[in-house]
Amino acid sequence: MAAVIFDLDGTLADTSGDLLAAANYCFRDMGLGDVLGPEDAGVALRGGRMMLRTGLTRMDRMDDAMVDRYYPVLLDAYAADISSRTTLYPGVMASIAVLQDHGYAIGICTNKPEGLAEQLMQDLGVRDAFGSLVGADTLPVRKPDPEPLFEATRRLGVDPHACVLVGDSDTDRNTARAAGVPSILVTFGPSAEDMAALEPEALLDNFAALPAVVAALRPLG
């Protein structure tokens, strides 16, 4: 048996709109107004702290203490409005259904806090399609440490090395490399132009092609 493990933000779904809204809530509270815009989608998918650092730097107000102070505020704002602007990427659930029909186990390994990831997948109505979900705080370590990827695979009842990781960032590429497993990086996210330079085992232009790509990298039997 083999598993396909997905990153969440920027891979399964475009979550940037809700993330940017949460960050701008913080910036407004600081008296700075809306600092980040749609052009910062790539920043959003790098996480809350990166959004805060980027916005504060842009306003010449960068302060690590402010980042630490507002990070929990950002998480609370995000939890309160986590899915109103978020959309699954076209074809992702159809491809997952095909993979499952062919015998692959399906899981998630994300650097989003586990509770928020669970909440988002429930809101999107697709949580039941994933047999495991490991978040940033599930274990003492997070990606690019390989252990969260291994744990997401183990929870599916699959040998931890018998997986492929589908992601959208250098973090995902480095996680797969550290785990000694193949990575597939999507080219339709905000950082698409950077994916080829990371030299993953495969690039994915659209989800319709995913089952064939997975079968070539991680054949069953």
Return the DSSP state at 201: S
Catalytic residue among 7, 9, 40, 172: 7
32-36 own/partner pairs: CB under 8 Å, 24+ apart: 32/59, 32/61, 35/59
* H or E stretch covering 151: helix 147-154
Sequence-separated (6 or more) residues with CB below 8 Å from residue 72: none
Q: Match 């399906």 to its residue by tokens.
A: 106
Cα(first)–Cα(last) distance of the chain, in Å? 7
* H or E stretch covering 52: helix 48-58
Question: How far is residue 134's CA from residue 110's CA, in Å, rounded to a whole number?
Answer: 6
Sequence-separated (6 or more) residues with CB below 8 Å from residue 163: 2, 3, 4, 5, 149, 152, 153, 179, 181, 218
Question: How far is residue 151's CA from residue 20's CA, in Å, rounded to a whole number?
Answer: 30
Active site residue 7: yes
Catalytic residue numbers? Answer: 7
